[in-house]
Copies of this chain bind each other. A is one copy, B any other.
Amino acid sequence: MKLEILTKNDNLSVQNRIISKIRDLINYKNLEPGDKLPSERMLSEKFEVTRSNVREAIQKLEFYGLLKSIPQSGTFVANIGVIAMNGMIEDILRLEDPDFKSLVETRILLELKTVKLAALRRTEEDLKHLKHTLEAYKNKVLNGEDAVQEDLLFHLAIAKASGNSTMNTFMLTITPEIITNFEKYHVCDKGQATIGIQEHNDIYEAIKAQDPKLAKAKMKVHFKVLYQYCYNI
């Protein structure tokens, strides 16, 4: 296990080293937006790493929109200037793994918005989906079973109904980590679950009634425990 972590860190540090070398290269050669980077083969030779490593690093920078690979042609500097390039690479290199508190804090922020947008924009189909996930949650809780997953699926349904694809994606990104941490730290216990049914119902009704303010208020009530976890501990 320890070895696995070591190699993982090792890989990550290799990747970051390559990224910083690419940055240096861009600076040194004064590459401007649209200019072509040296080929992957040359970079791997120059940096004395495998081509796979170079590709990984390039793909990471491509994910953040800094580079653009075009098949059978080359890798190009994206349409953002040198300063932004340097600043963003600096940030990417310093990126930490998100801590749980920051996850929860972000989730609360996102959901207080998605629930408002959902109330404004929900279609009949959204409503049907919400109802469905709500019922699944109810049934699980009333059977005395653990319902963390159904809980979060309801919240994901809200995000979908918000009609904002970016927030929907972000919610999808953080949900798995939220689930595993909830189960690890036992943030939700059984007592809260039965209360949760009523709270979910209130949120659902507010969205159905297309009342954004009420929906947000009800969501705030629902997040009371989370608030405490986030700001009192």
Seen from chain A, the residues whose Cβ lies within 8 Å of a Cβ on chain B are 4, 64-66, 70-71, 78-81, 83-84, 87-88, 91-92, 94-99, 102-103, 105-106, 109-110, 113, 133, 136, 149-150, 152-153, 156, 160, 163-170, 172-177, 179-180, 183
Contact = CB atoms under 8 A, between A and B. Distances in A.
Contacts of A91: 156, 160, 168, 172
Given A88-B156, A109-B113, A166 B172 contact: no
A165 B95 contact: yes
B180 A102 contact: no
Contacts of A88: 153, 156, 172, 175-176
B149 A84 contact: yes
Q: Chain A interface secondary structure, helix, strand, loop or mixed?
A: helix
Contacts of A64: 172-173, 176
Given A81-B149, A106-B167, A166-B103, A71 B4 contact: yes
Nearest to A136: B83
Contact of A170 (B83, B150, B170, B179): B170
A179 B149 contact: no
A103 to B, nearest CB: 5
24 contacts: A4-B70, A64-B172, A65-B176, A65-B179, A66-B176, A78-B176, A79-B179, A79-B180, A80-B149, A83-B153, A84-B150, A87-B133, A87-B153, A88-B156, A91-B156, A91-B168, A92-B172, A97-B165, A102-B163, A102-B165, A106-B164, A106-B166, A106-B170, A109-B110
